[in-house]
Chains A and B, each alone.
Chain A
Amino acid sequence: MSEPILTVRGLSKRFGDFEALRHIDLDVNQNEVLCLIGPSGSGKSTLLRCLNFLEAYDDGEVRLEGELIGWREGGASPRRALASGALRKQRQGIGMVFQQFNLWPHMTALGNVTEALMQVKGLSRKQAEEKAQAALEKVGLSDKAGNHPANLSGGQQQRVAIARAVAMEPRLMLFDEPTSALDPELVGEVLAAMKQMAAEGMTMVVVTHEMGFAAHVADRVAFLDGGRLVGVTPPSEIFGKEPEDPRIQRFLQTYRERNVV
């Protein structure tokens, strides 16, 4: 395995008095798929949102290929946020897929993908559309390019959202519970698209409740509880045998009970 592309050191985040994240240390390697699991309220989504500075973290560092995300370098205290242009530049390298898709409903599927290609990357309409078509084709939606989101199923909307992020050619992809808002029969098509991305070597951090995906696609699984990182292990350590940590045991126990019909 190669050297880490993303390093998180001593990351903390508070919302008022509530400590959402406490001193998280985490590395993500090049071409790796890392799944974040844990009970709801454990801080998984907050951690993910700190990685691209949608949440401004309070202490610690997030570095993508050595570059500090969100804050200015140097020891100034209190820290000063980056200028908006510099932050935008950083975010271009980090794709994100949301639980609620967050497609723009007034644009077609194609328009959703071309928007940033034209406005941010400065491609011409023709170039952008070619690139967007290719991205949509990859997620199996080339025939839906002209549809507005209202005329797409949840699974199709989420695949458009994936295409929108991937078309920007990010170095890292973040997924925030990408299948939690979907009807069960639509989960498979989204996971398939993600699996394909993983197979092509995309570096991915995935917050998920899909233990099957974590077990079979993830290179490593990180378990969060109460804002703390309990452990990071290969999936076989968690799913193959009984995990050692009682908190992980309990989580998996309730999870199994819920899913046994």
Chain B
Amino acid sequence: MNFSFETIWHNLPYLLAAARWTLIISLAGMAISVIWGICICAARISSSRLLSGIAALYISFFRGVPLLVQILVFFYILPYVGLDLPAIAAAIAAVGLCSAAYSAEILRGSLQAIPAGQTEAAHALGMPPMSLWRRILVPQAIRIGLPSLINELILLVKVSSLASVVGIGELTRVAQNITGQTYRPLEIYITAAVLYFLINLVISRAGLLAEKRLKVS
């Protein structure tokens, strides 16, 4: 059996369409991850023992369980508790909630990297806490954490492949389906791999560009 470029050429449109879903899952997941991650990070560093403890538990649990299992839990548990979400929503929620645990830790690390003197200076100027966070700490934390957050997005592109398990027609699932029809796993999976690689290449290049733009001159 020789390598068939024709198979690739013929099925490329389907794979490209599926790659769009891969992007949707990872980008929507990333949005949830950052927003929810900020909340968890705030809880984690809050002075309330209870809030901080809950956040720590959340982070430990979501980082300690395979994402595939989390996706399955979401897929089966939501209908069980009466929430009839479409599978794609369950997958995005699982990816986002899991990734939020990592984003929270990234942001916490970035906040710690900001010299304490800046907070002291703001206090000395009588700046209210809200403006301290909004104007000084959060913008810097995102800047410092940007490389890690970009990394997290690349990770999400890769783990979005797990959504195939609950039947979502993203890149991996569609590749599986096409393989089932064509019996050309080598060609199809290599093409899928190339597409994943290209998506991640674009993201990492864009990330480098954004980093340069945001760098304090």
Direct touching of A and B (C-beta under 8 Å): no
Q: Which residues on A are within 8 Å of B, measured CB to CB?
A: none
Q: Which residues on B are within 8 Å of A, measured CB to CB?
A: none
